[in-house]
Chains A and B, each alone.
Chain A
């Protein structure tokens, strides 16, 4: 019998320090076992799904619902399509018509810093191994364009010796494992079964956690609506058999869109006949926008 035990007996304290610590250790161990069992169980449950691919964070029951009771969109069944997009940077001329068309189609705020899609310019000057990067939101370019509602790349390299230069168009990659969906606290953003990651603006509380989480910077905050905003491949157009607005207006055919379920769709042909890459593959998001002509400096 230790001195402590004697004291405890004398004072009639119900639980000693040692006893308490023992109790804690046992509780943690039990909780760990339970959590592990639950986790393993759900993981097994997920992989033992039936046919087809679950959307991100979709369990079996929900997957069955999605297959058997799709959303009521006229003349459209989301089980029939897997949308994807291609960008050919060797064709892009940086005219920014895509950005303008997107703003018109989706009522995006007009100034150059609000966008669902944008274009970046990479310029290697002679003798340099790193690129100078600017986009239409660069203040010099905004000044060159002349007004808040016009978008243009300026001619700042006119008198410089340029070794290599090109444009890269970017937009939401509608990832297979979207970081933004992972972090959304309310369930306002989600991956739909046919590919695009959508935003339910009635549920978005504007916390902007998703804006932070996206590794591609594709999401932004729309102050006038108070919700997050991003490209959704013009979901309201593709469900009607149209192309997204940016694809529709691109004058050089730099943006390609289509259904990967159809081997003859433009995007399937594009992916098959080209060596395609994605942005930041190391992030593990598995994006669905496939690029041709990505240079080492492009992130």
Chain B
């Protein structure tokens, strides 16, 4: 045989020997076990730890909220909602809105992150996936909540008609959803909550933020009647009665309307509000909103305890302009419809919280929040907010 042929044949034989040996050595034992793949891979894939835990896992620590959610429309209280023989899965669970698997939820760390704190993994391989970031607290800030609600409830042409949907401009304008809706139990019981005003001409609901601003000058004369309790400049003569100076105008109008309609009960205020027209209410609210706010102060020790309780309870989600995570001042609310708490009389705050707690006063969100506060907590947080600067 010519040399070049024999060399070629030798090369082929050597290559074949190497190839077969390598295949025998390098192929894992479980390859070809169940098919053309590594059989051990199946168990490996199945052994990954699940991250989403399901809503029931939140119940053990968040009993009150879980109970609220269970009873509310977001859970659909009829468990066996059978359509065409199929048990319909219920509405959004905890992990839908408090986005992110509960599997990473720390026990009691307060390092709240909003949806904005997600980290992308597009270009940076070393950055952990957001689902793996430890210490995530899943609480939402007020401004997050509205965009989240609209994710499901904004009117889109492609959504089935069975889905409750709203057109933002005509429903709420710039108002936050949680001004009226408790996110855990969003159906509104209108008997308990002040109803937003109607435009008498069109009969349509007027979003609170679309209301005309009042005339502070005209309001001054109306406010003369308020001075005997609420002081000349809106600073109360009695700590049980609220300071009105520097308070959000919309909140004052809402309150007056609630007193007038009876959804909020106070013998004195109901009588006072009965005599006010809509224009009067807007004007006097504008007057007080423009007045200089003051800080009444509270017990220092209680205020210190209150500060940490407030951080735990997440009051800043609504009652701080920056939300939980933001750098906004404490006690200055994110929405014009929610009251500023900064510098408010501690006794009045305590009375209000107790009223929310025992049900004499009702609000979609505050009622459930107050129930999580003990009596001592109420005194402490009231003292805290009373001492916070109102500027």
Cα distance A237–B118 when bound, in Å?
A: 24
The smallest C-beta distance from A296 to any residue of chain B, in angstroms, reads 16
When A58-B35, A153-B156, A193-B34 are in contact, do A273 and B84 touch as well, CB less than 8 Å? yes
Tell whether, in the assembled complex, residue B160 and residue A93 are in contact, meaning their CB atoms are under 8 Å apart: yes
Check: A95 CB closer than 8 A to any chain B CB.
Answer: yes
Check: A291 CB closer than 8 A to any chain B CB.
Answer: no
Which residue on B lies nearest to A246, using beta carbons? Answer: B52
Check: B24 CB closer than 8 A to any chain A CB.
Answer: no
Tell whether, in the assembled complex, residue A202 and residue B118 are in contact, meaning their CB atoms are under 8 Å apart: no
Tell whether, in the assembled complex, residue B86 and residue A266 are in contact, meaning their CB atoms are under 8 Å apart: yes
1/0 per residue, CB under 8 A from B, across A171-191: the answer is 000000000000000011111
User: Residues of A contacting B158 with CB < 8 Å?
Assistant: 94, 121-123, 153, 157, 165-167
User: Residues of A contacting B48 with CB < 8 Å?
Assistant: 236
Tell whether, in the assembled complex, residue B37 and residue A187 are in contact, meaning their CB atoms are under 8 Å apart: yes
Check: A272 CB closer than 8 A to any chain B CB.
Answer: yes
Tell whether, in the assembled complex, residue B118 and residue A149 are in contact, meaning their CB atoms are under 8 Å apart: yes
User: Residues of A contacting B162 with CB < 8 Å?
Assistant: 91
Cα distance A187–B48 when bound, in Å?
A: 21
Choose one: B41, B51, B54; the contact of A200 (CB below 8 Å). Answer: B41
Tell whether, in the assembled complex, residue A190 and residue B35 are in contact, meaning their CB atoms are under 8 Å apart: yes
1/0 per residue, CB under 8 A from A, across B95-120: the answer is 11001110000000000000110111
Tell whether, in the assembled complex, residue B31 and residue A187 are in contact, meaning their CB atoms are under 8 Å apart: yes
Cα distance A61–B341 when bound, in Å?
A: 75
Cα distance A150–B148 when bound, in Å?
A: 10
Interface residues of A in 238-275 (CB under 8 A from B): 239-240, 242, 245, 247-253, 256, 266, 269-270, 272-274
Choose one: B45, B122, B159; the contact of A232 (CB below 8 Å). Answer: B45
Choose one: B34, B43, B159; the contact of A94 (CB below 8 Å). Answer: B159
Which residue on A lies nearest to B128, using beta carbons? Answer: A107
When A110-B129, A269-B86 are in contact, do A249 and B96 touch as well, CB less than 8 Å? yes
Which residue on A lies nearest to B159, using beta carbons? Answer: A93
The smallest C-beta distance from B145 to any residue of chain A, in angstroms, reads 14
Check: A39 CB closer than 8 A to any chain B CB.
Answer: no
Check: B376 CB closer than 8 A to any chain A CB.
Answer: no
Cα distance A156–B211 when bound, in Å?
A: 28
Check: B89 CB closer than 8 A to any chain A CB.
Answer: yes
Interface residues of B in 53-101 (CB under 8 A from A): 54, 74, 84-93, 95-96, 99-101
User: Residues of B contacting A235 with CB < 8 Å?
Assistant: 45-46
Check: B154 CB closer than 8 A to any chain A CB.
Answer: yes
Which residue on B lies nearest to A95, using beta carbons? Answer: B152
Tell whether, in the assembled complex, residue B33 and residue A192 are in contact, meaning their CB atoms are under 8 Å apart: no
Residue of B41, B43, B54, B156 with most chain A CB atoms under a 10 A cut-off: B156
Tell whether, in the assembled complex, residue A274 and residue B84 are in contact, meaning their CB atoms are under 8 Å apart: yes
Cα distance A193–B158 when bound, in Å?
A: 38
By secondary structure, the B interface counts as loop
Interface residues of A in 62-102 (CB under 8 A from B): 62, 65-66, 69, 71-73, 76, 78, 90-97, 100-101
1/0 per residue, CB under 8 A from B, across A100-113: the answer is 11011101011100
Tell whether, in the assembled complex, residue B37 and residue A188 are in contact, meaning their CB atoms are under 8 Å apart: yes
Tell whether, in the assembled complex, residue B52 and residue A152 are in contact, meaning their CB atoms are under 8 Å apart: no
User: Residues of A contacting B38 with CB < 8 Å?
Assistant: 187, 200, 202-203
When A110-B129, A162-B157 are in contact, do A202 and B41 touch as well, CB less than 8 Å? yes
Cα distance A122–B159 when bound, in Å?
A: 11
Tell whether, in the assembled complex, residue B50 and residue A236 are in contact, meaning their CB atoms are under 8 Å apart: yes
Tell whether, in the assembled complex, residue A95 and residue B42 are in contact, meaning their CB atoms are under 8 Å apart: no
When A55-B34, A57-B36, A93-B163 are in contact, do A273 and B86 touch as well, CB less than 8 Å? yes
Tell whether, in the assembled complex, residue B129 and residue A249 are in contact, meaning their CB atoms are under 8 Å apart: no
Check: A130 CB closer than 8 A to any chain B CB.
Answer: no
User: Residues of B contacting A152 with CB < 8 Å?
Assistant: 151
Check: A16 CB closer than 8 A to any chain B CB.
Answer: no
Tell whether, in the assembled complex, residue B46 and residue A95 are in contact, meaning their CB atoms are under 8 Å apart: no
User: Residues of A contacting B129 with CB < 8 Å?
Assistant: 107, 110
Tell whether, in the assembled complex, residue A104 and residue B52 are in contact, meaning their CB atoms are under 8 Å apart: yes
Check: B121 CB closer than 8 A to any chain A CB.
Answer: yes
When A62-B32, A107-B132 are in contact, do A253 and B42 touch as well, CB less than 8 Å? no
User: Residues of A contacting B155 with CB < 8 Å?
Assistant: 155
User: Residues of A contacting B163 with CB < 8 Å?
Assistant: 93, 252
Tell whether, in the assembled complex, residue B116 and residue A147 are in contact, meaning their CB atoms are under 8 Å apart: yes
1/0 per residue, CB under 8 A from B, across A154-172: the answer is 0101101010011100000
Choose one: B42, B52, B159; the contact of A249 (CB below 8 Å). Answer: B52
Tell whether, in the assembled complex, residue A249 and residue B93 are in contact, meaning their CB atoms are under 8 Å apart: yes
1/0 per residue, CB under 8 A from A, across B133-159: the answer is 000000000000001000110111111
Tell whether, in the assembled complex, residue B42 and residue A73 are in contact, meaning their CB atoms are under 8 Å apart: yes
Choose one: B32, B46, B51, B54; the contact of A73 (CB below 8 Å). Answer: B46
The smallest C-beta distance from A95 to any residue of chain B, in angstroms, reads 5
Tell whether, in the assembled complex, residue B101 and residue A104 are in contact, meaning their CB atoms are under 8 Å apart: yes
Cα distance A76–B45 when bound, in Å?
A: 13
Tell whether, in the assembled complex, residue A203 and residue B41 are in contact, meaning their CB atoms are under 8 Å apart: yes
The smallest C-beta distance from A120 to any residue of chain B, in angstroms, reads 10
Tell whether, in the assembled complex, residue B46 and residue A76 are in contact, meaning their CB atoms are under 8 Å apart: yes
User: Residues of A contacting B32 with CB < 8 Å?
Assistant: 62
Check: A5 CB closer than 8 A to any chain B CB.
Answer: no
Tell whether, in the assembled complex, residue B152 and residue A93 are in contact, meaning their CB atoms are under 8 Å apart: yes
Tell whether, in the assembled complex, residue A251 and residue B91 are in contact, meaning their CB atoms are under 8 Å apart: yes
Which residue on A lies nearest to B33, using beta carbons? Answer: A65
Check: B39 CB closer than 8 A to any chain A CB.
Answer: yes
Tell whether, in the assembled complex, residue B120 and residue A248 are in contact, meaning their CB atoms are under 8 Å apart: no
Tell whether, in the assembled complex, residue A78 and residue B42 are in contact, meaning their CB atoms are under 8 Å apart: yes
Cα distance A187–B36 when bound, in Å?
A: 5
Could you list some 12 contacts between A and B, CB below 8 A? A71-B42, A72-B43, A78-B42, A93-B159, A96-B151, A104-B130, A110-B119, A157-B156, A187-B37, A240-B50, A269-B87, A273-B86
What are the 8 A-B residue pairs with the smallest beta carbon separation, nearest first? A149-B118, A236-B48, A200-B41, A165-B158, A190-B37, A253-B89, A251-B92, A71-B42
**Contacts A105-B50, A200-B45, A253-B88 supplied; 7 other A-B pairs, CB < 8 Å:** A57-B35, A73-B47, A93-B159, A150-B118, A242-B50, A247-B89, A252-B163
